[in-house]
Structure 1
Amino acid sequence: MRSRSRSQRPAGDESGGSLMADKIKLNKPWLVAVWPGMGHVAISAGYYLMAKLGMHLMAEFQAEELFDVEYVEVKRGLIRTGRLPRSRFFAWIDPKGHHDLVVFIGEAQPPRGKLAFCRRLIEFAKDLGVERVFTFASMATQMHPSHNSRVFGAATDEATLDELKQLELTPLDDGQISGLNGVLLGVAAEAGLPGACLLGEMPHIFAQLPFPKAALAVLEVFSTIAAIPIDLDELAEQAADVERKLGQLLSQVEHAIESHQEAGEEEPPFPTEPDDEGEGETLSLSPDDQRLLDRLFDEAARDRAKAYELKRELDRLGVYNEYEDRFLDLFKKPE
């Protein structure tokens, strides 16, 4: 039986945040919350879920006073005020009627007011009828890029912890989960909502680079827990490609270090990214890149499962911010 429709009124609290949403009708929903972080693990997994499940934009969280503008944008020599980070909710209706899914994607974590931010988010989640809360994160270890990523877990309650152990996850016995990935679950626990943080393992030496293998491992575990089938082939292909490139980079670095040691020279600095990777920094696209984006936008408009490939290209070219509104329009709920 589905819950009654709710109209979310704009409301404020000590954080000054507010929420805007149309009428919402969800069945026993679970919440997944992600933010940018090390290895792009959480945010990549969140966007992948959004694209492959064909979610629609449901609501936007507004907390402008918790953020500040850290830069200005320059377009063809003209300065424009930088855009404040945005936070949005996307919804998926389970066709089998078990439980729906809400994915919260924040473009950045507020530099202050994290606790108030999370309390408002959990308040909204409870109003939606959310029954479980999950966050994704990364765990940097000494792993080699070619090894499988383990998934570490921490839970808000014993029942969820037992569930993670049954899946042979590595529990976080002691330590801290920094940022909103942890604070949100602390607030969820205070509110009586069960939940867990799933942390994908990645090599610490590549902490500044995207590591999709960790996002893949996290989504494999989440798919099992939620009993939601997710086509992970595209993410697996991306993970294999990045593994190959990082392996080549690591070999080059090891060879350079050996050569310098044999020559008695100082070790070369460790590179921060592969030569053919990284965000684009140009202010304009080539005709070929523009045609590629137009084609991917057309394909994603017909099939939102194609949106993840589009997001990857926008990130690679460094133009996601310019195309963000057009990209998110793909996820608006049909009238």
Structure 2
Amino acid sequence: MVLLRVAVLKLQGFIMSDEMNLKAPWLVAVWPGMGHVALSAGYFLMAKLNMHQMAEFSGGGLFDVDFAMIKDGVIQNTHQPRSRLFLWKGQEGKRDIIVFIGEQQPPRGKYAFCENLIDFARDHGVERIFTFAAMATEMHPEQESRIFAAATDTTLLKELDRPEVRILQEGHIGGLNGVLLGVAKDKGMPGICLLGEMPHVFAQVPFPKASLTVLKLFAEMAEIQMDFTELAHQAEEIEHHLGDIVAKLQANLQQSESQEPEEEFKMPEQYEGLSEKDEQKIESLFEQARQDRSKAYELKSELDRLEIFDDYEDRFLDLFSKPQHDGSQS
């Protein structure tokens, strides 16, 4: 039965022959969510570990199309959400890392979708599943982002017994970030969810500080050396920006309690359109990322800043479609 299923997966392009011999791999699964916490962490791993696409995971008819995109008056081809897996071959005895990037969570059949992913992981010798997520709290943007965690068994909880980690004692983890680990538990595969803390009032705003917190713990557990300077700088910039917004809102609130405010504070307007300078910068960053994938996260940060990453997501992920032998792996 297993051999038949694997054969079907090969026909669907799931498995590449040179990827069959993996070294004690861990799989990290991420989907869109609050603060882009999970996706940003996944993309950072892909860029800094110089990953390449290993396989594409079929949605099995679970996704549908809700609208048609228009560009310059022309209806564009329909696009179903894609789910892809990217691989880092660990060097010098280090374990391999697989990152699963889902553009969207299926609206139905979540358990079946996760069963297929867990079966795929087992067929490839995956020893442990990780999901990343956000934990929205009352924290101020300039406070330290704490890390919360849950695991499928008490042995893993002991590994998480660290001063910086707070174990979730009860509650639930919504979406596939939680369902995947529930299915992993059902199938006897160890799994951990790492949740980075972020302000709930900015749930729709990228919050890389939480991604950084999650990634630092994951890298330590996986014994991977990574340079977090770029992500830390991005986190600091957004922290100050959101801190300024909170300060202005508080000042206006205090002023309104005593008198009418002189000037109404407005949240930043949504970005509209691309300037020629922005387009040139994006193309330059794409070219740099093609030559060196470690530059890809800078590209993603710029696309996030302009709020246009969704428009470029497929093109961005195509950068990782093939192995890049440039010695940049760590």
TM-score for both structures, normalised by structure 1:
0.88
CA distance in 1, matches of 2:315, 2:260: 55
Determine the structure 2 residue equivalent to 1:9.
Answer: 7
Equivalent residues of 1:37, 1:137 under 8 A apart: yes
Deviation at 1:321, TM superposition (A): 4.2
Out of 72, 76, 91, the position equivalent to 1:76 is 72
Instruction: Choose the corresponding residue for 2:268, options 270, 275, 290.
Output: 275
Unmatched segments (≥5 aa) in structure 1: 1-6, 13-17
Alignment correspondent of 2:327: none
Q: For residues 318 and 41 of structure 1, what CA distance do their matches in structure 2 show?
A: 15
1:11 Cα shift? Answer: 4.0
Shift of residue 65, structure 1, vs aligned partner: 1.6
| Structure 1 residues 244 and 83: alpha-carbon distance in aligned structure 2, compared to 1, 3 A threshold | same
Shift, 1:62, TM fit: 1.2
Deviation per CA, 1:37-78, whole angstroms, max 9, x where unpaired? 011100110000000100000000111521111222110122
Residue 156 (structure 2) pairs with residue 156 (structure 1): no
Higher relative contact order (CA 8 A, sep 6+): 2
Which one of the candidate residues 13, 20, 33 is aligned to 2:14? 20
| Matched residue, 2:304 | 315
Match for 2:275 among 272, 281, 286?
286
Matches within 5 A, 1:230-245: 230-245=226-241
Report sequence identity in percent: 53
TM-score of the pair, normalised by structure 2:
0.89
Instruction: Tell me the equivalent position of 1:3.
Output: none
CA distance in 2, matches of 1:218, 1:244: 20
Distance 2:203 2:121 in 1: 31
Q: Which residue of 1 aligns with 2:289?
A: 300
Shift of 1:311: 1.4
Aligned to 1:4: none
In the alignment, which of 35, 38, 52 is matched to residue 31 of structure 2?
35
Once residues 297 and 7 of structure 2 are traced to their aligned partners in structure 1, the CA distance between those partners, rounded to angstroms, is 32
CA apart distance, 1:21 = 2.8
Which residue of structure 1 aligns with residue 184 of structure 2? Answer: 188
Local SS of the residue matching 2:290 = helix
Structure 2 residue runs without a partner (length 5+): 325-330
Matched, 1:207 2:207: no
Aligned length: 316
Whether the 8 Å contact between 2:289 and 2:296 is mirrored in structure 1 is yes
**What secondary structure, in the 3-state scheme, does the structure 2 residue paired with 1:32 have?**
strand
CA contact (8 A) 1:156 1:189 kept: yes
1:257 aligns to 2:253 (yes or no): yes
Q: In the alignment, does 2:85 pair up with 1:89?
A: yes
Q: Which residue of 1 aligns with 2:170?
A: 174
Alignment of structure 1 residues 315-334 onto 2, 5 Å: 315-334=304-323
- Is the partner of 2:61 in helix, strand or coil? helix
